[in-house]
Amino acid sequence: MDTLFPSKQISSQKSHTLHVGFLKQDTRILDEVVVGIYKGPKSYTGEDVAEISAHGSPYVQQQIIAACVAEGARLAKPGEFTQRAFLNGKLDLAQAEAVADLIASNTAASQKAALHTMRGGFSQVLKVLRDQLLSFSALIELELDFSQEDVEFADRTQFYALINNATTATRQLIESFSLGNVIKNGVNVAIVGKPNAGKSTLLNTLLNENRAIVSDIAGTTRDTIEEVLNIDGILFRLIDTAGIREHTSDVIESIGMEKVSRRLQQPM
């Protein structure tokens, strides 16, 4: 970095500082940039990091990347910075996965849930429970070591209260999985009914567009039609299905009805 940024000796600067100057490759000026210095362990990855803030030209950015590579750097693999943060103990596994969820979030609810987990909300609950259980486990082992002395190190009342609290907290976390799945992936809503019941009309009305073909002919919808609707930050995956009736001589319509049956057996 010192070679590319001759204005200052970056390697000797303090952590969490910003420096303005020209970025050069040999004698050629690439851009006037701001270089941020973040020294480990107080950085996202826990390692020494330099961030270059350049102007928005794709050409300039490519030139800067090429210059860095020429000095021995390489392009990061997808997710490598978060992987390094995990390996260096800056993030636990739940937080690392939440980073990917945040990047993929497409609603306010999924963004909020990912940020909560990334900031340690989920991990903190588990950490407190783990520390309490380990503490009591140590006291019980101590009692076993002095079993012939008739001494009691672990308060039984507190121990049973801890077990009940851990059971309740664990159950709540397990139950929150379904809600988290809804927030992350959306709610599957299958529109099912008899032929000409208005299923496709309902889908078009909800979407406010003519997405599905509508006619008076029974069995117009042969295959499932899926669209996504965002309502108050929650995704609803609307699935228009073929009409269901007991008997049909139409082979294609029969296949569509079989698809509806399989769809209804899937968890929504």
In a domain, 133, yes or no: yes
Residue type, 77: K
**Residue ending a domain, choose from 28, 57, 83:** 83
Residues 224 and 251 in one domain: yes
Residue 1 lies in a domain: no
Domain final residue, candidates 154, 182, 210: 182
pLDDT digits (tens, 9 = 90+) for 73-98: 999 998 899 899 999 988 888 888 88
Condensed to tens digits (0 to 9), the pLDDT of residues 92-129 reads 888 888 888 888 777 777 777 777 777 777 777 778 88
What is the extent of the structural domain holding 203?
187-265
Q: What single DSSP character describes residue 10?
A: G
Q: pLDDT for 34-51, tens place per residue?
A: 999 999 899 999 999 999
| One-letter amino acid for residue 54 of the chain | A
Residue 2 lies in a domain: no
Q: How confident is the model at residue 267 (pLDDT cuts 50, 70, 90)?
A: low
CATH of the domain at 216: 3.40.50.300
3-class DSSP state of 220: coil
Query: Residue 154: inside a domain, yes or no?
Result: yes
3-state helix, strand, coil in the chain (%, to 5): 50, 15, 35
Could you give the CA distance from residue 265 to residue 95 in angstroms, rounded to a whole number?
33
Does residue 4 lie within any of the structural domains? no
Distance of CA 203 to CAs 195, 212, 252, 261, 263, Å? 14, 7, 22, 19, 17
Whether 219 shows a pLDDT value over 60: the answer reads: no
Q: In what order do the strands lie in the sheet with 225-231?
A: 187-191, 234-240, 225-231
How is residue 94 written in tokens?
A: 């739940």
What does the pLDDT look like over 169-211, one tens digit per residue? 888 777 776 667 767 777 777 777 777 777 777 777 877 777 6
Is residue 5 domain-resident? no
Domain boundary among 83, 110, 138: 83
The CATH number covering residue 27 comes to 3.30.1360.120
The verdict on 178 and 193 lying in the same domain is no
Total count of domains within the chain: 3
Q: How far apart are the C-alpha atoms of 3 and 26, rounded to whole Å?
A: 8
- Same domain, yes or no, for 163 and 206? no
